Structure 1
Amino acid sequence: MPDETREYRRPIGLAVLLIVAGVIGWYSAFDLTLERIQTLINPDYVPSCNISPLVTCGPNMASSQGSVFGFPNPIIGVAAFVAPIVVGVAILAGARFAKWFWVLFNVGVALGLAFVIWLISQSIFVLGTLCPYCMLVWLVVIPLFWYVTAYNVKEGHFGNGAGSREIGALVYPWVWTVVVLSYLVIVVLAQLRLEAITTILRGF
């Protein structure tokens, strides 16, 4: 059960983030799934996300990296992104979750981030393309991980003491800076490897 000895404040901001990120991630995964189905039905079909040789999703979907577990990766997203939406809505409705639930939820988000990091590396360093819908997934999974983790540290869900909870409370409002730095790392890697910024700007 949640700790009754401490005043509980519903994490409204976190709940909104979970819902918004979950909806964006789910939409991206669902749309990419539809695009994959169209390519299977019609081999001549050109996905709507094929914007340029660099910004495209066709090569990613057709690659082995696009079906790591034997089926299209977006199917994982369609299933997984329901979780943050449900958790966020439940929090807004007044639900409280036990520590073990938050820890398991954090583990799930961490696994999602690990998978995304691998996909980013494959996209930039192996396939040499930037899939628009994939990048939307990257965009939401990164803050999901950092904010859920920081919230759990702040609330002591990992069994940490009062000192670390206080530090977590001080750091939590600044988690956005870590998120921005994470985005910058991806941008720098894409620019160094693919000259992404230069190439995209040339298209305008």
Structure 2
Amino acid sequence: MPDTQPYKRPVALAIFLIVAGIVGWLAAFALTIEKFVALTSPGTALTCDFSVVVQCTANLESWQGSLFGFPNPIIGLAAWIAPLVVGVALLAGARFARWFWILFNIGVLAAMVFVVWLISQSIFVLSTLCIYCMITWAVTIPLFLALSLFNLKTGNIPAPPRLRSVAGALLTWVPAISLGCYLVIAVLAQVRLDFLATL
């Protein structure tokens, strides 16, 4: 059942959606520019190439970097507008139907699955870490956690009362959980690539 308590505008979530949208979009834009440079000036060193391990050229030139037949950053340019618009609308007082929140959450879930796949490909297949890609990872993880827990807490995603209560409690721990996820990624990258030695 959706939350029957008086509506309280989710200001914190709205602000986070706006910040996430802006940061994610800027990362996608920067990576798109780097792709243009790589296409128009082959062999030119890209500004995101710092070492053999920390670079974006290998990612951009791989098939993983154009999974759907076009550069992945184009997906980011389009997709990151969504949380930005939703956040602004919430601050303006908009209220969304339950189906909207579910569809929005499904979209963010798809982004999270895509990011997890990209992380695995970067670390275990391409053996590189792309700065702008990592910014996207760093934003997508807390976005997925915050939105999913918010929807569980408020009943937008059907859940028993106990699960809703747990989601509400975990919502305040999103920063800590996200840091834990970053740490896992960093450890995997260090063990697999020893990226600290290449900085």
CA contact (8 A) 1:191 1:198 kept: no
| Residue correspondence of structure 1 range 131-146 to structure 2 within 5 A | 131-146=130-145
TM-score calculated relative to the size of structure 2:
0.95
Residue in 2 aligned with 1:163? 162
Note if 1:78 corresponds to 2:77: yes
- Cα 1:4–1:175 change in 2 (3 A) is closer
Deviations 1:33-58 (A, max 9, x none): 11111111111322111111111001
CA contact (8 A) 1:103 1:158 kept: yes
| Residue correspondence of structure 1 range 21-36 to structure 2 within 5 A | 21-36=20-35
User: What is the rounded CA distance, in whole Å, between the counterparts of 2:117 and 2:39 in structure 1?
Assistant: 25
Deviations 1:2-29 (A, max 9, x none): 9583211111111111111111110111
User: What is the rounded CA distance, in whole Å, between the counterparts of 1:125 and 1:161 in structure 2?
Assistant: 39
SS for the counterpart of 1:164 is helix
Runs of 5+ consecutive residues of structure 2 not aligned to the other structure: none
Residue in 1 aligned with 2:127? 128
Q: What root-mean-square deviation, in Å, do the aligned CA atoms of Structure 1 and Structure 2 show?
A: 1.5
TM-score calculated relative to the size of structure 1:
0.93
Partner amino acid, structure 2, of 1:112:
A
CA contact (8 A) 2:2 2:155 kept: no
Deviations 1:164-194 (A, max 9, x none): 2222222211222221111111011001101
Runs of 5+ consecutive residues of structure 1 not aligned to the other structure: none
Runs of 4+ in 1 over 4 A off after TM superposition: none
Aligned positions, number: 199
